[in-house]
Structures are given as C-alpha cells and as structure tokens.
Amino acid sequence: AQSVAQPEDQVNVAEGNPLTVKCTYSVSGNPYLFWYVQYPNRGLQFLLKYITGDNLVKGSYGFEAEFNKSQTSFHLKKPSALVSDSALYFCAVRDGSDYKLSFGAGTTVTVRA
C-alpha cells in the first residue's frame, strides 16, 4: 500500500519570503514522487517529480523539492513566494509497479502581498 501525508492544511507566507509545503510518504517499493498545483475550479498542473538520481529536484515556476529517503519526505520549496503562487498543492506517490497515484489531502497556500 502507498500513502501520502501533507500535515498542514494551510500555509500562509508573505510575498518574497520562502515557501515550504511538507509531504511525507509511505510506499513498499521505490517511491516515484510528484507535486501538482491546482488553481480554483481547474485541473492539476504538474510541477515536478522525483524518480531517481539527484535528491534535489527543480521544477516549474521556480519550485524545487528535496527527496529525503531516511525521513521519507519530499517537501516542496520556493525561495521567494509570489502572490500568484496562492493555490492548492498536492503531493502524490506511486511505487514503480503501476501508474496509480495516491494523493495527499492537499495544502492550501496563501501568499499575501
């Protein structure tokens, strides 16, 4: 079985400050980890993924995430948040055997001007 936990329902930051959205995972095999962003009434947009290789993954819109195997974490980060980053963020995981994604509950990010 595979699962994802996003411990924070909401994250609030001021524009220009660093943004971190936390994610921990549980998977039986090798984890394939993803971050998606969802704007109101829209589908999910892919931000970045970790499959193998370098633990620090860089993605779209200045986001990055660090894979930490010992802590089973894959936190999303952005050095300087923008108001336009305000959205709902989902962490997702699958193991290598199929393509079903398990999603976290989501974290609402609000960036204030």
Partner 1 sequence: GAVVSQHPSRVICKSGTSVKIECRSLDFQATTMFWYRQFPKQSLMLMATSNEGSKATYEQGVEKDKFLINHASLTLSTLTVTSAHPEDSSFYICSARDTAYSGNTIYFGEGSWLTVV
Give the chain's count of helices (H) and strands (E): 0, 12
DSSP assignment of 30-42: -EEEEEEEE-TT-
Using DSSP's 3-state secondary structure scheme, residue 61 falls into: helix
What is the rounded CA–CA span in Å between residue 54 and residue 38?
26
Within 5-44, the residues that bind partner 1 by CB under 8 A are 32, 34, 36, 41-44
Q: Is 51 in the site for partner 1 (CB under 8 A)?
A: yes
Question: How far apart are CB 78 and partner 1 at their closest, in Å?
Answer: 20
Query: For partner 1, which residue of 8, 49, 64, 66 counts as binding (CB under 8 A)?
Result: 49
Query: For partner 1, which residue of 63, 67, 89, 90 counts as binding (CB under 8 A)?
Result: 90
Element (H, E) at 90: strand 87-95
**Using CB under 8 A as the criterion, which residues of the chain lie in contact with partner 1 when the complex forms?**
32, 34, 36, 41-46, 49, 51, 88, 90, 99-106, 108
